[in-house]
Structure 1
Amino acid sequence: MEENHWETFRGIDFGVAGEFKVKVEDEEARNRTDSTTFGLHQCVYTVGPVESQKMVKKGSLGNQISKEQFVFLASLNKHPNAFFVENYYMDGDGIGCLVVESLNGRFQSWLNYQVDTKNKQPSAPTLFTADGRMLPTLRTIILSLCSFVEHVLEKRWYPRHLTMDDLYLKMMNNQPTLKVLMSDVIQGTTPTRIASVWNHVKEIITHCCTLDNATLSGGSSSFYDFIGRQSKRVPLETYPDAWSYADKSAYLLLIMQEEMVMMKRYVQASGIVWPTEDGLIQPMLQLILDHDKTSTYDTDVPWDYIRLCRNVNKKFDVPKSVKAVIKDHIGFLKKMEEWTPMIWANLYETIGPLSLRR
C-alpha cells in the first residue's frame, strides 16, 4: 500500500472518543466488476488497538466536506442502505475527508456488467425480462433506494440532486446491497421538493431501462408510476407487480375477510367495474352468472364483481364450456387481468396490502 499520509487525528466526539489513525492508499479503489476507479480510497483505520480496512471519501477545494455534513451523514447510519460513515478528519491540505465502510464499487459499474453479461448470453436476462418486467435483484435495489429516500425526507432533509454518482454497492451474502452517499443535501422539505426527489428516483430507473434497452411492462410500469405516492398504509414493498398467482388468489380472499362496508367503499373508489364487451357483460362472466344457482350478483355494483371473482377463484364452480377454456382458477385470474389489466394495481393502491406480506 502506497502511503498518501500517515498522521494521527483526534476524533470529533462522534462514535469515537480519543485518537484514531488513517493510512490512505494513494490510488483510488477500483470497481470489482470492471476495475475502473470509483472515487474512494482504500485505507487502514486504527482506533486504539483495533485496526480495520475501511475507505476514505476525500473532499476537494471545489467540493468541501464539512463537519456538519459528516454529522448529518452519520445520523443516517442506522438505515441499512446508508453509506456507513465512521469518522471525519482534515488531511494535510486542510481538506475534509470521511472514513467510510468498505464497498465493492458503483451501482453504475454493476449495471454495465449486467448488461454486458446479457449481451453475451441473451438467454440470461439480469435487469428486465424480455417483456419488460423488473427482475428481483434490480427491484430490491430500487426498493432500497426508495426506503432510504423516505428515511431522509422524514428527517426533513432535501437531496437536491440525487444521481447515479451517489449510488454504490456492497456485496452481502453474495447479493448486491445498495449504499447511498448523499452529496448535495439541504434542510427543509416542501411538496415541490419532495416531488423533485421522487422524480430523481424515477430518472434512475429510466436510466436502467435505457441501458438495458427495456420498456417497462404493465405491472412494472404501474410500480414505477406509484413511486412517490406510497405510504405506510400502502407501501411500495408489497406492490402487486411482483405477486404470484398464489398471492393474487390470497388477496381476493383477504378482501372478503375485511369489514364489508369499508371494502365496498374501497372497491368503488378503485374504479373497477364489471368487464363488458359491446356494452354487455363479458360472455364468459355471463355464463358463470347463469350457472351459479346459489348466489346473486348485481352487475352495476363493483363489489359484487370482486365477490364473484373470489367465489370462482375459491370454488371454481363454472360451466363445462368455461372449464374447457380456462382449465382452473389460475386461468380465471388470467382472464381477470385480460379484462381489466390494472385490476391488482387499482385494488392495491386503494385498499393496501391487508395482511398479505412477502
Structure 2
Amino acid sequence: MTISYNLDVSSSSSWTFLRVIFRWRGSVWKSVFQELITWTICYSIGSLVYRYLLAEYQQIQFAALAHYMDERMEYIPLTFLLGFFVTIVVDRWKNIFANIGFVDNVAFYIANYVIGNDDETRIAKRNIVRYLCLTQVLVLRDISIKVRKRFPNLDAVVDAGFMQPHEKEIMDKIDNDFSKYWVPINWIFAICVDLRLKGKIAADVLLNGVLNEVKTFHINLRTLCNYDWVPVPLAYPQVVFLAVRVYFLICIVSRQYIINDEADNKAKIDLYIPFMTQLQLIFYMGWLKVAEALLNPFGEDDDDLEVCFSSKIQFFLKYKKL
C-alpha cells in the first residue's frame, strides 16, 4: 500500500524536513539498508586484507589498481542511466494508476438512467455493478500478486460474492484460449439492452451513455493488461541494475585508503569508513530502489498500489441503495 505522508508536509516549517526524513516504512533508509550494510562489510573486509594480509609489493599493485579504477569511474554514466530509466518508469506508473478503473462513474449512470425501484430493476442494477467489480477482479488476479493470493481460483471469487455459481458454470463452458475478461462486460451490455427494451431506460441516448461508460471502464482495464503484457524491455533494467551495483562493487577497491606514501592517489585522511561513498550509495541506490518499486506497482512493496481493498460487505454496503 502506498505510504501516505501528506499530514507530515501539511505546512512548510523547520520541522517538516525532520518529520519526513525520519520515517521508516517506505523510506530510502529501509530501501537501501541491506545494501548499505553489505557494502560496508565488504569494504571493511577489503580494507583489512589490503592493510594486514598483503605483502608490500602486493599493496603497491593494489594501490595502482585502485588508482586505475578511481580515474575511470566516470565510464559508468550512472546519472544518465538512472535519470532516463526513472523517467520512463514514473510515466508508466502514472498511466497505470490512471487506468486502475473505478465503478463509481458507471454506478452514477445506472442509478440515475435506469428507472424503477421494483425488485427486478434493483437486481439488474446491482448485477451491472457486480459485473464491473467481477471484471476488475478477473483482470487484477492476473497482474497483481496480492489479488491472486486473495482469489487463487474462481471458487474464491464465487465465495467473495463477485460471481454466482451458475455464472461460473457459464464461464467454464466457454471454450476460449484467451482471457475471459470480456464475458461480464458482455453480460452488462445484454442487461442494458434488455432494460431499454423494457422501457427502464428512457431513451437510446441514455443507453448509449451508459454503454460508453462501461466501454471506458473496460478500456482502462485492458490498458492495465497491456502494461502487464509488454513490460519495459528486459535489457534496459538489466543495464541499469547492473551498472549501479558494479559501480559500487568497484568502489570497494577504488575508494580504499592507500597506505603507500609514494602513491599518487593517497588521501590525506585515513577514514576507516568511507562516509562520502556511503552517502553516494544511499542516493544512487535509493534512486534505483524507487525505480524498482515503481516498475511493477502491483507487487508487494510498501509503495505499491493498493488493489485488494474491496470486499463483499463493502460492495453491498456501497451499492445497496441502487
Shorter-chain TM-score tier:
under 0.3
- Structure whose alpha-carbon radius of gyration is higher: 2
TM-score, with normalisation over the residues of structure 2? 0.22
TM-score, with normalisation over the residues of structure 1? 0.21
